[in-house]
Every structure is written in structure tokens, then in C-alpha cells.
Amino acid sequence: MCVFFGFSQSGKPKLVVGLVIDQMRWDYLYRFSSLYGSGGFKRLLREGFSAENTLIPYMPTYTAVGHSCIYTGSVPAINGIVGNNWFDKAANKFVYCTDDSTVNTVGNKGNAGKMSPANLWTTTITDELRLSNNFKSKVIGIALKDRGAILPAGHSANAAYWYDSGKWITSSHYMTDLPDWVSKFNEKDLPGKYMGQDWNTLLKIERYDLSSDHEKAFENPIKGEKSIDFPHKLSTISAGDKYEAFRTTPSANTFTFDFAKAAIENEALGTNTVTDFLAVSISATDYVGHSFGPNSIEIEDTYLRLDKDIENFLNYLDTKIGHGNYTLFLSADHGVAHIPAFLEAHKIPGGTFDATDLLKELNKKVEEKLGVKNALKTLMNYQVYLNDNNILDQNKSLAEVKQLVVTALKEKNYIINAFELDKIVEASLPVSLREIMVNGYNPKRSGDIEFTLKSGYFDGGSKGTTHGVWNPYDAHIPCLFYGWGIVPGKTNRETYMTDIAATLAAMLKIQMPSGCVGKVIREAIK
């Protein structure tokens, strides 16, 4: 038998693996490179194709939006996922991206499984793969976060599994009962076993000279833990907190790969007559990043451990599926900002504001100036939602309220600009920024007014950090392709998150997702 690297004997790969690293900034590929092994990130860069200048083409840069964009090749204006949460004016209620009251939890008690992809308006590349062969392909989504499993797996997936209280669960959208193999996997209580081990650094702590050990005042502790220093005494966290605290540990990433391997084994992925698809999202990186920030030893250690997990997973795929018989892509749903207090300590601009306080202030100003009580419903996703019915019931002008709010927002030191979203083409914005805002605006789900912030600013508290804006620290993400059908190399031309689905569709010779606006990264594929 003769198999050339990157190609199987068949016309398509046996398995496609999508690997989305939640909150992975592009620079992490290189920042920690001197401490990475040769078989993880370095193998993907060395033997795969890297689109080095891949950007997110919309705002806000949040988890649900990023996963949806990668797998639909679309943007919020088209696929309907405008945030992790939004306010639905027609239904007069707040909506979580994967909420679905018509389905039930499978695998545990409670409402954590009342989820489905119903709020996603377009198909995904995984849907299109199933459509291409009359649903013969198996598609499974896996992530600690429900939105990280459900949205990539698409509408027609065989299964999507997410984490709840130490167990993998799903919803009746996919099945009525957990498969026996999932129940047996849950019985092992791996999270409990992992939490029995304290988290110390993988290497001697002196080697972590790319991170700061003196910024602890800016960081948040792991749930149930009093100290924020190494070693993190995970074994002392109470039984009531440990399964939630588990999310904020590198072991949760290992646990996700454990389950991904179990899915491949028990669902016989890659042994089909057609291509199967496994969509895996690594979520603990996001929880650690929010708590400790991108300049922490915790995040550096998490990525060193993730590098080893990826190496282990690639070696597993080589053995199980066959070297050259699978295609894997690696990307991220968004990046992350530095903790503003850390920036300030180093004389770099940055800061925070509180959206709740700002909403109260704006409502007070509208009431004082125009006599309208509770004129604004909410402020989320860096957008203001007006309480239309309330304003009209008081016989007041929506236009006057909008103008007053826009003026008040512009007066804030940390805000550069504010504008009515349905008049975005008239706003004084750089052309590239206007396109990002247009891509993120959906008239049925977005707010009425949007505002842009100075670099380094975000809605948050004095500790920890977050993401959500258009700036490169939130929007510049890795984009790697590896394996069957991929030509090793790299490009520095500007590419976009939307291009991933388009490139996979071209490689697999299937239709692009129904809302896809991405372009094929031609250099990456045969």
C-alpha cells in the first residue's frame, strides 16, 4: 500500500475534525512556542496550512456568534445569532442563543438540556455534509458549553453533547435517551477524579517568564477556591462547587478530548462509506482566560497542557483513522483583551465600564429631559435596546429618545462614537469598521443604537477580563488546516472566519452553507 502524506486513497477524507479553541488569540500560536512540544501546535504549523491573518468580520465577538460563523460561513446579519444573548422585541423577552422550551433534557435533571439549534437561521457545513449524501454522514458536536456543541453540529446532527454537573448531557432534539456508552462514560466520574488532583504548573514556575506572577490583584479565583496562587488546591474545593470549578481547569480540556475519543470509538466515526464529522470545542481556555487574563501563568500553563492534549489527540487519530485519512481544522471563536488594570500598571490605555450603571444613567437622563420613564429596555452586546411600547404608550417620540441617547453616549470619555443601527450607512465610521458593524446588525434581533469604544475598554469589573469588540486582540484568530486534501504552507493575506466553511465545502465538493458569504482559501487545498 502506498499513501502520500495529506491524502487518503479515497476521494474524500474518512473524518473531518473541527477543533475550536474558545478564546484563543492568534498570538498564542507563537507567544508560548518555545515551550510547546513538537507534536501539537508546531506539528499543525509545520505540516499543515496556516492562514496567519484571519479576522472576525463582525461585532460582537462572543462564543455563540463565533461558533455559528465558523460553521455557517455567515454573519449575524444573516444567520441570526447576534450574541450569546439578545432581547426579542416581538416576543418581549430575553433570549439565550440555544434556548428551546419545546425540548427536554436528556441525561440529567433540570433545564440545562432544554437546548437546540432552533435559533440558528441557516445551515452549517455539517448540515450540508449530511445533505450531500442523503444523511449517511455521522455528525457529532462536543463541548463543555452547550452553544459550543450545538451550533457547530447544526440542525440535522446525529448528536450534540455538553457538560452539566459532571456529566455529558444532550436534549430531545437529538434523542430520547443517552447511548449506553455515554452513560457508562458518565459513571466514571472523571471530573471528580481530575478535581482530586491539585493544579500545579506543568514546568518549573521559573520557566514561565512570558507571564506575570505579580498581577494577582487583577485576577479572579476559581470557584470555591480562596487563593489565586499556584498550586491551585482543587482537591480542597467543596463537593457543591467542584463540578462547576472543574470548567476553569486545564483538566476540563483533557476531559473533552477523552470524550471525543470515546465518541470516535463508540460511534465508529471514520469507518463510514462517506465522510463523518466531529465538531469539538475546547471551552476551559475561555473560563481560565476570563478569570486570569492573557498575561497570567495560568493561561500559559493551560496552553502548554493543551498543546500536549492536541499532540495526544493527533497521535490517536493517526492510529485510529489513519495518517492522511482525516482532515482537521483549528480555529477560535474570538480572542481576549488584557485586563485593564494590568494595562494601566504598564502605562497602556484601557479601562472598564458597567453596562448596568450606564443603562440606569441613560434611563434617568431620558426621563429628566423627555419625561419618559424606563425608555430603555436593556444594554447588551454594546447595543442599546429601546423599550418601544413603553415610549409609544407615553405618547413620546422614538426618534427623540434615540437622538438623546446617542448624544449622551458620545459624551462618555471611553466611547468614540454612537449611532442608530438602522442608519449605520450614514454613521461617520471608517469603511472597514462600518462593514463589521453592518455584518453584525440583524434588524430582528439587534438593538437600536450601537457604540464603539476606545482600545482596551470593555464592559466589565475590576478583576478578570473579557472580549466582544472588533479590535485585533478580540478578532485576530488562528486558522489552521491539516491532513487530507491540505497543502502545507501559509498565507499572510487577509482572510476571514467566514472562509473556513467555504474552504471545507470546496475541499469536500459539497454545497456551501445556505448563508455562507466566505471565500475559499485556495492556497490551502488541492
From the candidates 63, 98, 126, 498, which is the catalytic residue?
63
Q: Output the furthest CA–CA distance in the chain (Å, rounded).
A: 81
Please indicate whether residue 105 is annotated as part of the active site.
no
Q: Which helix (H) or strand (E) holds 7?
A: none
Amino acid at 501: A
Question: CB–CB of 73/515 below 8 Å?
Answer: yes
Three-state SS letters, 27-85:
CHHHHCHHHCCCCCHHHHHHHCEEEEEEECCCCCCCHHHHHHHHHHCCCHHHHCCCCCE
The rounded distance, in Å, linking the Cα atoms of 52 and 496 is 10
Strands 351-353 and 326-331: what pairing? unpaired
Q: How many other CB atoms are found less than 10 A from the CB of residue 410?
A: 13
The rounded distance, in Å, linking the Cα atoms of 113 and 153 is 15
Residues in a beta bridge with 418: 451
Scanning 80-213, the segments in alpha helix (DSSP H) are 125-132, 146-153, 180-187, 190-194
**3-state class (DSSP) for residue 321:** helix
- Give buried/exposed letters for 264-289 (b at 16+ CB in 10 A, else e): beebebbeeebbbbbbbbbbbbbbbb
The rounded distance, in Å, linking the Cα atoms of 289 and 312 is 23
| Phi, psi values for residue 141, rounded to 5° | -110, 140
Residues in a beta bridge with 353: 459
The rounded distance, in Å, linking the Cα atoms of 403 and 113 is 42
Q: How many other CB atoms are found less than 10 A from the CB of residue 467?
A: 25
Which DSSP symbol is given to 387?
-
Contacts of residue 505, defined as CB under 8 A and 6 or more positions apart, other chains included, come to 73, 125, 128, 511, 512, 513, 516, 520
Which DSSP symbol is given to 450?
E
Give the strands of the sheet with 415-420, arranged side by side.
376-380, 383-386, 449-453, 415-420
For 67, 139, 247, 312, 472, the CA distances from 261, given in Å and listed in that order, are 21, 14, 19, 11, 34
Among 464, 497, 452, smallest CA distance to 338 is for 464
**Residues carrying an active site annotation:** 63
